[in-house]
């Protein structure tokens, strides 16, 4: 019968017990795989952010959500698409449970467009699929997003922040029309998308 070493650490391992070095090696390997996955995901976020020009609203502008309809930039007569002296357009929209006001706006293609939104009640979302437009609309603040539509088209504008029981039904439209056609639209046709 073989003599067992007196130090228990130098005794041979029982069947089925994995040596400590092998465990450490495997753990290190998994750590490296996870670090690589994390790095890849961070890279995807950074690269898509830069390539798609995605960015959070760059300005902090505050206003009083309880007096939106009484005074200031977001009174009803000021909502919708306005033409600026430099030829660009500014779109002002109020988000409220459970619609956007106005419900549809027309903007020109190939023109700088500045969206300015605010909320009259809770947090809503402002998203135009397949564009760089994606922002939260927080009561008390103005969400400003600048974009440019290369070609005419129709965009659905769903609210993408859960805002209550009617959230799923809260959406609006942005209708991008050719630049020449836009110049001939009446203010009513620009804001509300009613036929000319
Ligand atoms: Cu508004 Cu969801």
Question: Per DSSP, what are the bridge partners of residue 137?
Answer: 124
For residue 193, the CA-to-ligand 1 centroid distance in Å is: 22
Say what the pLDDT of residue 105 is. 93
Q: Which atom of ligand 1 is nearest to the CA of 167?
A: 2
C-alpha gyration radius of the chain = 28
Average pLDDT by stretches of 10, the chain with 196 residues: 67 83 94 98 91 68 88 90 92 95 93 95 94 91 92 94 94 93 86 72
CA distance 71 to 74: 7
Q: Provide residues with CB under 6 Å of ligand 1.
A: 124, 159, 161-163, 167, 170
Task: Tell me which H or E stretch contains 182.
Answer: helix 179-183
**Residue 118 neighbours by CB under 8 Å, 6+ apart:** 63, 65, 68, 74, 94, 95, 137, 139, 140, 141, 142, 143
| 70-99 burial code (b ≥16 CB/10 A, e <16) | eeeebeeeebbbbbeeeeebbbbbbbbbbb
**Whether the Cβ atoms of residue 121 and residue 94 lie closer than 8 Å to each other:** no
Residue 79 tokens, joined: 């909502």
Say what the pLDDT of residue 96 is. 95
For residue 153, the CA-to-ligand 1 centroid distance in Å is: 24
Query: What's the whole-model pTM score?
Result: 0.71
């Amino acid at each position: 019968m073989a003599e067992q070493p007196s130090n228990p650490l130098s005794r041979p391992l029982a069947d089925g017990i994995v040596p400590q070095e092998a465990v450490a090696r495997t753990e290190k390997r998994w750590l490296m795989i996870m670090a690589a996955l994390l790095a890849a995901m961070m890279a995807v976020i950074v690269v898509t952010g830069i390539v798609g020009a995605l960015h959070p609203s760059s300005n902090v502008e505050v206003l009083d959500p309880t007096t939106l309809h009484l005074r200031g930039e977001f009174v009803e007569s000021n909502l919708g698409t306005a033409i600026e002296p430099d030829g660009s357009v500014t779109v002002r929209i109020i988000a409220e449970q459970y619609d956007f006001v106005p419900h549809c706006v027309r903007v020109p293609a190939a023109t700088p467009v500045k969206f300015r939104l605010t909320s009259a009640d809770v947090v809503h979302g402002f998203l135009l699929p397949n564009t760089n437009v994606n922002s939260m609309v927080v009561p008390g603040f103005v969400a400003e997003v600048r974009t440019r539509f290369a070609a005419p088209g129709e965009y659905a504008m769903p609210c993408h922040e859960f805002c209550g029981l009617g959230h799923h039904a809260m959406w609006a439209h942005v209708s991008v029309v050719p630049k020449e056609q836009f110049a001939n639209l009446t203010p009513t046709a620009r804001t509300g998308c009613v036929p000319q």
